[in-house]
Amino acid sequence: MTTLSETELRVLRNLAAKRAGNLTPFINIADAQRLTEHGFAARSRQGWDITREGAAYLAELDAKGPGQPDDDQPTPLFGRTPPKGGSPT
């Protein structure tokens, strides 16, 4: 699964709200362009729109729920997480 920055995720959620007919804040062009690189947004006559891929990404993210690990996170060796700031002991 693609990982988005907090800003990109906020913009993607704003685009989803726009599609649902809600008023949304101004969307920064650079942020929207980064979403187009992932295929999650597209330019239209009305501004920026969320794509099917962007809507699917949000649906998958929301289905995981809070606190669920991302699929693309590394699996710790031997079922444990190494200590921070140093080598394993």
pLDDT in tens, the chain (89 residues): 788 999 999 999 999 999 998 988 888 899 999 999 999 999 999 899 999 999 999 999 988 876 554 544 444 444 555 566 655 55
The domain 6-66: what is its CATH number? Answer: 1.10.10
Let me know: does 50 contact 56? Beta carbons within 8 Å.
no
The token pair at 18 is 């726009």
CB-based burial, 48-76: b 16+ in 10 Å, e otherwise: bbbbeebeebbeebeeeeeeeeeeeeeee
Pairing of the two strands 47-50 and 41-44: antiparallel
What was the pLDDT predicted at 73?
47
CA 22, 34, 42, 2 torsion-angle sign? negative
- pLDDT recorded at residue 60: 93
